[in-house]
A and B are shown apart, each in its own frame.
Chain A
Amino acid sequence: MERAAHLIELRDVTKVYKTGDVEVRALAGVSLVIEAGEFVAVMGPSGSGKSTLMNILGCLDRPTAGTYVLAGREVSRMSRAELAEVRNLVLGFVFQSFNLLARTSALENVELPLVYRGVSTREREARAKSALDKVGLGSRLDHTPAQLSGGQQQRVAIARALVGEPKVIFADEPTGNLDSRTSVEVMSLFQELGRSGITIVLVTHEPDIAEYASRVIVVKDGLVLSDVRQTPKPAAPLAAAAPAPEAAT
């Protein structure tokens, strides 16, 4: 019953990389519980192990030892194909460099996770449209990434993470390539998603971005250094923000 209680539960997770004869302990035994609906910011200097932690939480990598229970399923010993399915059904990803498919319309980019789920064309399109509506890009379905501003591209990426109705969205430095104004817009969007019940795990090295989260975990030398709950600073809501100047066409 304990398993069903938490959305994410890491117990004594370690990750060791071997480069030749040198062993690097990226994670030195991390135990962590994240509840559904939390907005968690993971911080830490480079080399602290926060990326490794993120990869394991995102089911992109498997721990060397320890257990990871995600939404009631033990995922730390799953095969590559099983992990892909978990990522597809339970998780959503937002990256620093957007990682949209070039020369592919916003709509098709957003549809992509559903393609691998085997959803019918019609349903896929409907769900992708509504996801783009949610991020305020309902009028730019046919735009390719090259025709969109950085902020808009990131919103397409968020729509893509959203379309599969995930339990958790992982965002890896989502504002790293954006100006401060657009960053606030994106953070406001994340806060909105958090209010709708989606758990958000955000990696950042910017303290002012971490302020928007309800919990800040600092990682150092492969261990959790601090874990603080806070009152999130409200970001200006997206709807109130006029279209960014760069978005004007």
Chain B
Amino acid sequence: MNPLRTLRIAARALWRNGMRSFLTALGIIIGVAAVIAMMAIGAGAKAQVEQAFAAMGTNMLIILPGSTTAGGVSGGFGSMPTLTWDDLAAIRTEVPTVKLAAPAMRSNQAVVAEELNWTTSVTGTSPEYFQIRSWQVREGALFSQSDLDGGTKVVVLGATVASKLFGENREAVGHTVRIGHIPFTVIGVLAKKGQSAMGQDYDDAAFIPVTTFARKIQGGLGKYLTGQIFVEATSADTTTRALKDISVLLRDRHHIAPNQDDDFSIRNLSEIAGAQQQGTETMTTLLASVAAVSLLVGGIGIMNIMLVSVTERTREIGVRMAIGAKPGHILVQFLIEALSLSIAGGLAGVAIGLGVATWLASRFKWPMLVQVDVILVSVGFSAFVGIAFGLYPAYKASQLDPIDALRYE
């Protein structure tokens, strides 16, 4: 029997019960649309996480000072300064896998301009910091090694701080701001970097030479570096190696016995990024599986309606058998009907899913990621659902006794 003809018979049978066919297909439509939308959301979120971590800096390690233990209570990392300026110098010169290293001392300070003020995180650091964080200057310039050596009172503002103090359109460079009553000259404004993966605004920050920070804000440059050290490894492959090397170097410099814990901690940001990405992937898989379950439920809907249809059309089946339809003909006829329902539903679901994904992408400013493989798998799966759940009703129809079927009222 001609397959096109069979398809036409199926299409007509479905068309006759338009509303019912639509509602039956709706299960598949929703399931496929949900799978595609979920996968697009997942892909978009993943891309966003990747972007966020790229903004944070690549191949980056952060060294935190160690903890104090007073009366059995551990203070946690950073509660006691254990890193020294000599440690920083040693990391820079003695570890070959380290490309750059920069100190970062932080304090929340009110920054006061002529008319406006803004409290932000002020970081004392060195010029390498901007390279490690791959941060560009938008106007003016960054401070230099000579500013560091001389402890000059210059500041580089983040984009948010600059706009809060001087407005969006006014030039900030050249103006004087006060940080803790000390006047600083604005020499540069950084390019916008956006938000971190945790939602923190990177641009809400101000940067001054670390020597100036220690002397003017902390009140004296001592032996200890009371902050963190940012390190960039020579490449992505050497990040882990650099972490190990730095750990060995610092343990040696701090005279830590083999059975003692570190008095510092090193964070590998690419690892955090990996974990975050894995989290997104797990979430996506979870959501997609829930959506896939709804596809299954849609399949049960198809089976249900096909069983109703077989019962309703018992006489028709009887007539077809009497005039020469073999059991195989009837089986194929009902199978094609179930398949048409599920594939039509699958295609409509793809269209709706893509629509939802596009809308979400524009709403959350995600990159729109059309995954061809997801579409193919969805349509393929709905076809499978059609066959799997259409088989039983179709088999039932094909096994009807023509005499009983003809007599059926």
Contacts and interface: CB of A to CB of B under 8 A. Distances in A.
B403 interface: yes
A118 B325 CA distance: 11
B241 interface: no
A55 B401 CA distance: 11
Given A93-B322, A99-B315, A101-B319, A81 B406 contact: no
Contacts of A121: 2, 5
B316 A115 contact: no
Given A101-B316, A103-B16, A81 B323 contact: no
A100 B319 CA distance: 8
B323 A113 contact: yes
A81 B1 contact: no
B151 interface: no
Interface string A99-116: 111011000000011011
Contacts, number: 65
Contacts of B328: 81
B324 A160 contact: no
Given A95-B406, A101-B319, A113 B326 contact: no
B326 A84 contact: yes
A104 B324 CA distance: 18
A100 B1 CA distance: 20
Interface string A47-74: 0000000010010110000000000000
A218 B16 CA distance: 44
A61 B324 CA distance: 13
B321 interface: yes
A113 B315 CA distance: 16
A84 B1 CA distance: 14
Nearest to A118: B1
Given A61-B403, A115-B5, A84 B319 contact: no
A84 B327 contact: yes
A116 B319 contact: no
A89 B1 contact: no
Interface in B166-223: none
A117 B327 contact: no
A85 interface: yes
B325 A116 contact: yes
B301 interface: no
Interface residues of A, number: 29
A85 B1 contact: no
A80 interface: yes
Nearest to B9: A115
A62 B89 CA distance: 100
Nearest to A102: B316
A99 B321 contact: no
A149 B86 CA distance: 107
A14 interface: no
Contacts of A100: 319
Nearest to B6: A115
A88 interface: yes
B329 interface: yes
Contacts of A25: none
Interface string A77-102: 00011001101110011010001110
Contacts of A55: 403
Given A61-B403, A95-B406, A116 B316 contact: no
B406 A84 contact: no
Interface in A8-43: none
Contact of B1 (A61, A115, A164): A115
Contacts of A118: 1-2
Contacts of A116: 1, 320, 323-326, 329
B402 interface: yes
Contacts of A93: 322-323
Contact of A81 (B315, B318, B327): B327
A117 B322 CA distance: 13
Contacts of A60: 322, 402-403, 406
A118 B315 CA distance: 23
A121 B5 CA distance: 9
B280 to A, nearest CB: 52
A61 B406 CA distance: 13
Nearest to B319: A99
Contacts of B16: 103
A73 B284 CA distance: 64
Given A99-B406, A116-B1, A118-B1, A85 B323 contact: no
A101 B323 CA distance: 12
B400 to A, nearest CB: 10
Contacts of B315: 99
Nearest to A101: B316
Q: Which of A85, A101, A104, A164 has the most CB of B within 10 A?
A: A101
A73 B181 CA distance: 114
A121 B16 CA distance: 23
A161 B316 CA distance: 16
8 contacts: A84-B321, A84-B325, A84-B329, A93-B322, A113-B323, A160-B323, A164-B323, A164-B324
Q: 8 tightest CB-CB pairs across the interface, nearest first? A: A88-B324, A84-B326, A116-B324, A81-B326, A113-B323, A99-B319, A60-B402, A93-B322
Given A80-B327, A116-B326, 12 more contacts: A58-B322, A60-B322, A84-B329, A87-B322, A87-B324, A92-B323, A95-B319, A99-B406, A101-B319, A103-B16, A115-B2, A116-B324
Interface of B: 1-2, 5, 12, 16, 315-316, 318-329, 402-403, 406
